[in-house]
Amino acid sequence: MATKLLLLLAIYRLIVIVGLTLDHPTDLIQTEIQLSFSLEDIYEASHDFGNMITTEPSGVLHPSSTHDVAKLVKLAYESPQGFPVSARGHGHSINGQAQTGNGVVVQMSGPRGLTPRPVVNEELMYVDVWGGELWIDVLNSTLMYGLAPRSWTDYLYLSVGGTLSNAGISGQAFNHGPQISNVHEIDVVTGKGDVVTCSDNQSSVLFHAVMGGLGQFGIITRARIALEPSPQRVRWIRVLYSNFSTFTHDQEYLISLHDRLSSQKFDYVEGFVIVDEGLINNWRSSFFSPSNPIKISSIAAGGNVLYCLEITKNYYQHSDRESIDQEVEALLNKLNYIPSSVFTTDLPYVDFLNRVHKAELKLRSKGLWDVPHPWLNLFVPKSRIDDFDKGVFKGILGNKTSGPILIYPVNKNKWDEDTSVVTPNEDMFYLVALLRSALQNGDEALTLERLSNENRQVLDFCKEQNIGVKQYLPHYTTQQEWMDHYGEKWPQIYKSKMEFDPRHILATGQKIFQPSFTSMMRSW
């Protein structure tokens, strides 16, 4: 009985929002849209990976086509009262960005068979994929043709539409640019319910707005992703540094090689910061051998912070191993890491790309995955990265953490300035990602309150020192903060919003634009 009452309440609430008069509530489902009101779907759409914010929608749509999405958005746009619509992929947002109250969540990622499968064009080297397709499934589809996308995120269980709505970056971005720099065209459902195919040359204003647009201008239902011949194997190397300037100098040197004629270069450049006391092997991977643990105290100098450079060399099954060895050795000889700290492994390309999933399974088995994740991702100008190190890594963070702290440089010339993404105004900038988990293990330093407070301290420090950081995967709660974030881009952001989503229907969880039908909305 309770379930039936909740179902009727959800249907009634949506009817009130839409402003329809029907003989029977279920007519809305039969004649307009095939919504789900199941408690399981509502619960799932109310939560995300961040585990910090919960917002309950009125219903959930499981689309099987672009037409299904367009029909829903058109209904929201044309109904007298209006209601918000938010696209959700794998639910990996942190601060409820894909949630919406008193509206409908479009669950783009779902069971195989409901949505179009990836279609690979082997000759032109691209793949057409559904917006809710997970990158792991894109990879598996293209590998059958010996091809793979060029740019990745560290975690492959994310949706294509989700990462393209942000940028999509990993250790290949310095060379190939973010994922949004590797898209030929997209199909988009705008906030008016229109379906538009757009690219750099066709409906380019919409295309550039949607790329990194945080879901504000349209829902991506198809993306055409550029491919390259896939390597079969990876030489994966990690080396340690105790001096930050030496560490960043080597990172910057390595990513500069791709702008030169040198044939010797690495294919992936990342790094992470180790502020914990004890073993350097943390949950990010089981890369370091348990049989050969290294104590930070045994090699760190001038403090308890170490820096790990993470690099790879891709190669093919038929490649000459001796030549690979020589090339890697020649590159390593130009770096100034701690000599005794070299760790190397050799593994299939797929295993390297999917490395974080293994860590996920390990954490799930320990009950440490579904916990709050107060993540903070920043783009830091190259000119101020030393100041950031002194104030944050050696200052605010202390000597305990509960997740990886990534740091690596990217080349700005690989980013399209016409997209909606905001980056520092320098030729090179760093991604700094505090990917920490809040734990209730009795350690006060790892609580949600403590980590959230540290994030605020980091942002306050950057503001006080005028470091000029920009948030990646940004989170703000007022429009003024968003205006400050976008800076010179704000007029174009506002203009595109008025053109493509004038009623502010889409992605209200980002809190950039307040819906025009606020009388029916819950308080922000």
Q: Which CATH number covers residue 142?
A: 3.30.465.10
Indicate whether 313 and 422 sit together in one domain: yes
CATH number at residue 422: 3.40.462.10
CA–CA separation, 332 and 336 (whole Å)? 8
The answer as to whether 437 is a domain residue is yes
CA 27 from chain centre, in angstroms, equals 38
- Residues 142, 173, single domain; the answer is yes
187 has catalytic annotation:
no
Distance CA 30, CA 22 (A): 11
- Whether 270 sits among the annotated catalytic residues: the reply is yes
What pLDDT, on a 0 to 100 scale, did the predictor assign at position 319? 86
Question: What is the chain's pLDDT, residue by residue, as a tens digit (524 residues)?
Answer: 444 434 545 555 555 555 544 333 334 444 467 899 999 999 999 999 999 999 999 999 999 999 999 999 999 999 988 999 999 999 999 999 999 999 999 999 987 668 899 999 999 999 999 999 999 999 999 999 999 999 999 999 999 999 999 999 999 999 999 999 999 999 999 999 999 999 999 999 999 999 999 999 999 999 999 999 999 999 999 999 999 999 999 999 999 997 665 568 999 999 999 986 543 444 344 444 444 445 444 555 445 789 999 999 999 988 888 999 999 999 999 999 999 999 999 999 999 999 999 989 998 998 889 999 999 999 999 999 999 999 999 999 987 778 899 999 999 999 999 999 999 999 999 999 999 999 888 787 789 999 999 999 999 999 999 999 999 999 999 999 999 999 999 999 999 999 999 999 999 999 999 988 754 444 34
Give the per-residue pLDDT at 348: 96
Final residue belonging to a domain, choices 230, 265, 287: 230
Q: With respect to residue 482, please indicate whether it lies within any of the assigned structural domains.
A: no
Same domain? 298 vs 243? yes
d(CA 496, CA 274) in angstroms, rounded, equals: 42
Instruction: Let me know whether 30 and 150 are in one domain.
Output: yes
> Does 111 reside within a domain?
yes
Q: Cβ distance 212 to 379 under 8 Å?
A: no
> Same structural domain for residues 207 and 251?
no
Domain co-membership, 183 together with 117: yes
Range of the domain at 77: 1-230
- Whether residue 237 sits in one domain with residue 211: no
Q: Report phi then psi at 284, rounded to 5.
A: -60, -35
Tallying the residues shown for the chain, one arrives at 524
CB under 8 Å to 407, separation ≥6 — which residues? 271, 272, 273, 307, 430, 431, 432, 433
The pLDDT of residue 32: 60
Catalytic one of 62, 90, 92, 208: 92
- Classify residue 517: in a domain, yes or no: no
* Distance of alpha carbon 362 from alpha carbon 61, whole angstroms: 32
pLDDT at res. 523 = 39
Q: Is residue 316 part of a domain?
A: yes
State whether 213 and 247 are in the same domain.
no
User: Does residue 81 share a domain with residue 160?
Assistant: yes
Contact of 242 with 302, CB cutoff 8 Å:
yes
- Say if residue 242 is in the same domain as residue 223: no
Instruction: Please pick, among 44, 154, 346, 499, the residue that the annotation labels catalytic.
Output: 154
- DSSP symbol at 25: T
Active-site pick, 270, 276, 310, 454: 270
Instruction: Report yes or no on 255 lying in a domain.
Output: yes
Residues 181 and 224 occupy one common structural domain: yes
Tokens (6 digits) for 127: 């793949």
> Of 428, 232, 265, whose CA–CA distance to 348 is shortest?
232
Instruction: Give the domain-ending residue among 203, 230, 257.
Output: 230
The whole-angstrom separation of Cα 133 and Cα 162 is 10
- 190/276 same-domain check: no
Establish if 410 belongs to a structural domain: yes
Asked if 267 is an active-site residue, the reply is: no
Domain C-terminal end among 214, 230, 246: 230
SS (H, E, C) 229-268: ECCCEEEEEEEEECCHHHHHHHHHHHHHHHHCCCCCCCCE
**For the chain, what is the domain count?**
2
Distances (CA, A) of 324 to 266, 320, 336: 11, 6, 20
What's the token pair of residue 154? 């560290």
Query: Does residue 509 fall inside a structural domain?
Result: no
